[in-house]
Structure 1
Amino acid sequence: MGMAKGAKAIHSFLGWEQEFFVVHAAHFKARPDLVNCGRTLIGALPTRNQQMDLNYFGPVPDRVERLMVILKEEMLKMGSPMAVRHNEVAPAQHEMCPIYSVCNASADSNALFMEIANREAGRLGLQVLFHEKPFAGINGSGKHANWSMGTDTGLNFFHPGKDDESRTIYTTAIACLAHGLCQYNELMRCAVAHAGNDHRLGAQEAPPAIISLYPGQGFEAHVDSIIAGGALLGYKAEKKMQSTGCKASMAVEANSEDRNRTAPFPHCGNRFEFRAVGSSQNCSFPVMICNVVMAAGMAHLADQLATGKKLRDCVAEMYKTNRHVIFTGNGYSAEWPEEAKKRGLPNLNTTPK
């Protein structure tokens, strides 16, 4: 492409969001199903469930707060500073996230986090549950993988930027990603296929098992413009004011292409969030597949450029061929599986498939 000439290497980056449940160790040991399967096999819904966001916005229980502070301190010793800790939607569900880093180091830090969490929880009389669906009737847990790629000079392929070079690279990079996700769709689904995740994917709490790309509605319109013969330039990431719903607080500035939580692969300002990764998984394999499909798209683009075609024409051809993998609608809707079938996208909703 003749851009970013000072770059000598491309790196991928990962920021994981680890969700988990915390229960009393004594209660855990009293349940053979939890001990042996990691999830309950029988039970009834509690009186207090996850209504009205009471858990998400409520105070963190004292012992759980103590556990998360210890985890933050221990992870800092490992060279992985934690940025976020909070309650999640379901009762007894929580989340911790680190500062982003290079994929290899970040994936290793996640494996260490899970090991240290189990060890330190036991010392406090608690038990951490990393199963994707330990309790029926309430939300399960995932491990959202916030993934991006860029050069050693600091150029992020997935950030629209403010100059023509950055915007051209951004539009081209998403064309490469769309090609990889479309041509290797089943491989991407296999990256998150295991029994625990089958309980979670496709429910009203996690993305569907249909792998699609969400670049934002504004960018989707730009893609259609390119396919119709338009220029690569022309898309600008706009900002919007998001109301908090409370008259006493001001609106908050957000990206107009804010992530779609019903999508398995939405764009989030400067990265893509692979939301289908299971909470118990080692995130290195799913992220490796992200790198592989992106590399496949880049290789295809390089082959096309080598024939003498213009960059605009190559990108337009890639978008036209793989347009059906781009979906900006509601992934939870009953109509989406039917629409995906028409588009030729596989719906592998169980691991055996």
Structure 2
Amino acid sequence: MSTLRFNALAQLQNRQSRKVEAPSELVSDYYGSHVFDLNKMKKTLSSVVFKKVERAIKEGESIDEYVADAVATALKTWAIDKGATHYTHWFQPLTGSTAEKHDAFLDVSPDGSAIEKFKGSALIRQEPDASSFPSGGIRQTFEARGYTAWDPTSPAFLMENGNGITLCIPTVFVSYTGEALDNKAPLLKALEKVDIAATEVCQYFDKSVTKVTPTLGCEQEFFLIDSALADVRPDLTITGRTLFGRKPAKGQQLDDHYFGSIPSRVQHFLQELEIESYKLGIPITTRHNEVAPSQFEVAPIFEEVNVANDHNQLLMDVMEKVARRHEFKILFHEKPFAELNGSGKHNNWALATNTGKNLLAPSSKAKENLQFLTFFVNTIKAVYEHADLIRASIASAGNDHRLGANEAPPAILSIFIGTQLTNVLNELEHNGDVKVGKGDNIYMKLGIDKIPPILLDNTDRNRTSPFAFTGNKFELRAVGSNANNATSMTALNTAVADQLNKFKISVDAQIDKGVKKEVAIVNILREYIQESKNILFEGNGYSDEWVDEAAKRGLNNRKSTPHALDAYTDKKTINLLTSNSVMNEQEIKARHEIMLEDYIMKIQIEARTMTDIAVNHIAPTAIKYQNTLIKNAKGLKELGLEEETKEIVISIKNISNHISSIKRLSYELTQERKRVNKIKNTRDKAIAYCEDIKEKYFDQLRWHADKLETMIDDQDWPLPKYRELLFLR
């Protein structure tokens, strides 16, 4: 009997649900209790200091040393009163996750006594060393200086871990020479650019608009597996996905898990997750079962993109900690189980004005309609122009397994807008030249006096679309569940900002020639509709026909990460990011290099784990079972049962063939990996790991191992099976 596996199953059977108690019956009593937000600042800072901090948050003004010291003092007092003993600059290096180095609120006075200390200089900047974080050649390892700088637009918060509490200060992370070494700094620049560009375009319609804020609502999908079972699966422990495993008789084909009753143990996990999230001001409002067994989703209310992204990164950290308390292993990998749906992170994106308008919300009012169509069409044009960059921004080793797997959007970037809006754009495109006379209803003559009322509640969906309009927002569905949203949001917001700038230049040029403003706007929109219509697609993104059709339309189908990442070296991408001052060329090339290296390392780790499990776990088990069959065959032969013996001999031969194939493929894979590791060029090495290792060996090796799982006695199989991982809670 496989001792580890059955011991794990025994532990699972004895699980007790962890009791969860909220601090109060009303969420409003403790929501944001661990966040030093504007309300707490207003209560603890002088009115002068508070107004300066508020302007820094809302308008991007700089903060001087006096203000920083005042904020630091208030922060320290608040945090210590809450039980904090340390503080940290919480940042997002180019690893895809977050990082922190804790410093104590401690100083020693000349007389040797201890005092709590936290100055404005410590709030604003730290030098955490952090020399081992990837830099893509921006700095050498011996050049250790990396600086974290306070981001006042994202509030400080308290993180509980065990019995300790730490004050976390969201920051950017830059090199000694100023290049961004993180995901936050470029995102902040992109958000500033789209704010400026969108505000200028809004002036055509509403002079009271002085700020436009990109918003994000991020749905988070994940799997929950009992920790005891996960711990005896080396592949889950090391890579976050099952490299082997036979699909169970029942998977997700009945759709009975989707939106079903949440299992009680999972319910308790979600309740505690929500409590901890609410303390941190993370506005989770939705929870439900997803399509695959043991797959779930949580989703928050829309927030400003930078804060929403910080909250999502923080949420993933909280989810892992809460999962451990409930003896779960949480899986954020995009495809942890073969032949079952993977997990995404749907990014619902929109633009909101300081006057309370959603610029992507259709209206029944003609003037507002033209404004809606302006931002709607410009977004489509932006995605069309920079589709390859957006595809690259969601590329990863994990997401390669998910994209196009008949469960998630394909690798071809297209946009779904629904039948009615398609008709609206078609009418707008073909309404011809318009001459407007005095007293004419401009909007009626332009054909946009109204949009059918049903569009005001347009909740149509196309689940095969990577970028879909869903009524009052665009949903970038292709982002992987383990990703940092900042990468894709930087790409999207920069593309939209650049496009809006070009739009305004074109419209102003026509206005300067005497064309009426509304007519000029429609003239340019008509051009954009014609130029970008190839990216609009309403059909089945999973079909072979769409692959052929997309090729005819000139849309790229970059299926693997190494090829998708080529977009970062395209002149078009470099010009977009540098001309908008979001990243310089060195920062762009560094990210390209880091993403390739990340891909290489993840496939390398999977390859090494795969051969280890195959050779040291599966093959020995098969040999042991084969020996049992040999003894059985000999016994039957001695009894004269020749026919029965023949059947067992066939099984022995089949098992032997699978064992031989596993050993041969494992050896070849190892030798091929050694060869590929000698490749100097990072891109060439990544492509080799993709095509010469992953695509050539992974499925073959898995096929033989999974065949053995069906042949070997269940009592002897060493790895928890899919039916146990997915259905036992």
TM-score between the two structures when normalised by the length of structure 2: 0.46
Partner Cα separation in structure 2 for residue 330 and residue 57 of structure 1: 24
AA aligned to 1:52 is: L
AA aligned to 2:381 is: H
Matched, 1:146 2:348: yes
> Which residue number in structure 2 is paired with residue 117 of structure 1?
319
Residue among 429, 449, 464 paired with 1:227: 429
Conserved? CA contact 1:216–1:257, under 8 Å: no
- What SS does structure 2 have at the residue aligned with 1:188? helix
When structure 1 is superposed on structure 2, of 23-32 and 297-306 the one drifting more is: 297-306
Give how far 1:232 is off: 5.5
AA aligned to 2:235 is: D
Partner Cα separation in structure 2 for residue 337 and residue 237 of structure 1: 32
Conserved? CA contact 2:458–2:471, under 8 Å: no
Distance 1:232 1:282, change over 3 A: farther
Match runs of 1:233-244 below 5 Å: 233-234=448-449, 236-239=451-454
Residue among 82, 85, 96 paired with 2:287: 85
> Which residue number in structure 2 is paired with residue 217 of structure 1?
419
Give how far 1:194 is off: 0.6
When structure 1 is superposed on structure 2, of 10-19 and 146-155 the one drifting more is: 146-155
Partner Cα separation in structure 2 for residue 165 and residue 286 of structure 1: 32
Conserved? CA contact 1:217–1:257, under 8 Å: no
Residue among 540, 547, 551 paired with 1:337: 547
Conserved? CA contact 1:168–1:232, under 8 Å: no
Matched, 1:49 2:251: yes
Match runs of 1:93-172 below 5 Å: 93-172=295-374
CA offsets 1:330-352 (integer angstroms, 9 cap, x no match): 21222111111111111111101
Give how far 1:157 is off: 1.4
The percent identity for this pair of structures is 39
Distance 1:57 1:312, change over 3 A: closer
AA aligned to 2:408 is: A
Conserved? CA contact 2:363–2:450, under 8 Å: no
- What SS does structure 2 have at the residue aligned with 1:72? helix
AA aligned to 2:213 is: H
Partner Cα separation in structure 1 for residue 241 and residue 311 of structure 2: 25
When structure 1 is superposed on structure 2, of 88-97 and 256-265 the one drifting more is: 256-265
Give how far 1:58 is off: 2.6
> Which residue number in structure 2 is paired with residue 294 of structure 1?
496
Conserved? CA contact 2:366–2:450, under 8 Å: no
AA aligned to 2:532 is: N
Give how far 1:257 is off: 5.8
Distance 1:174 1:232, change over 3 A: farther
Conserved? CA contact 2:292–2:340, under 8 Å: yes
Conserved? CA contact 1:238–1:256, under 8 Å: no
> Which residue number in structure 1 is paired with residue 536 of structure 2?
326
Identify the structure with bigger relative contact order (alpha carbons < 8 Å, sequence gap 6+). 1
Matched, 1:197 2:399: yes
Conserved? CA contact 1:139–1:205, under 8 Å: yes
Distance 1:234 1:212, change over 3 A: farther
AA aligned to 1:289 is: A
- Segments of structure 1 that go 5 or more residues without pairing to the other structure are 241-253
- What SS does structure 2 have at the residue aligned with 1:199? helix
Partner Cα separation in structure 2 for residue 148 and residue 67 of structure 1: 31
Partner Cα separation in structure 2 for residue 5 and residue 67 of structure 1: 48
Partner Cα separation in structure 1 for residue 449 and residue 404 of structure 2: 35
Distance 1:30 1:237, change over 3 A: farther
Partner Cα separation in structure 2 for residue 9 and residue 193 of structure 1: 32
Partner Cα separation in structure 2 for residue 96 and residue 257 of structure 1: 19
- What SS does structure 2 have at the residue aligned with 1:21? strand
Partner Cα separation in structure 1 for residue 508 and residue 261 of structure 2: 58
Distance 1:166 1:182, change over 3 A: same
CA offsets 1:79-130 (integer angstroms, 9 cap, x no match): 1121101100101000001111111111111111100110111111111000
Partner Cα separation in structure 1 for residue 296 and residue 233 of structure 2: 21
Q: Which runs of 4+ in 1 moved over 3 A?
A: 254-257
Give how far 1:235 is off: 5.3
Conserved? CA contact 2:215–2:303, under 8 Å: yes
Partner Cα separation in structure 1 for residue 323 and residue 288 of structure 2: 16
CA offsets 1:120-155 (integer angstroms, 9 cap, x no match): 111111110000000001100000001101211111
Match runs of 1:243-282 below 5 Å: 255-256=457-458, 258-282=460-484
CA offsets 1:11-47 (integer angstroms, 9 cap, x no match): 0001111000000101111000111111011111123
Give how far 1:284 is off: 1.8
Residue among 57, 75, 88 paired with 2:277: 75
AA aligned to 2:522 is: R
- Segments of structure 2 that go 5 or more residues without pairing to the other structure are 1-200, 433-445, 512-519, 564-729
Partner Cα separation in structure 1 for residue 503 and residue 382 of structure 2: 11
Give how far 1:51 is off: 2.1
Give how far 1:234 is off: 4.8
When structure 1 is superposed on structure 2, of 339-348 and 306-315 the one drifting more is: 306-315
- What SS does structure 2 have at the residue aligned with 1:161? coil
Conserved? CA contact 1:141–1:279, under 8 Å: yes
> Which residue number in structure 2 is paired with residue 349 of structure 1?
559
> Which residue number in structure 1 is paired with residue 390 of structure 2?
188
Residue among 206, 211, 234 paired with 1:9: 211
Match runs of 1:26-65 below 5 Å: 26-65=228-267
When structure 1 is superposed on structure 2, of 185-194 and 158-167 the one drifting more is: 158-167
AA aligned to 1:339 is: E
Give how far 1:175 is off: 1.5
Conserved? CA contact 1:19–1:130, under 8 Å: yes
AA aligned to 1:97 is: A
> Which residue number in structure 2 is paired with residue 248 of structure 1?
none
Matched, 1:305 2:515: no
Give how far 1:320 is off: 1.1
AA aligned to 2:317 is: E
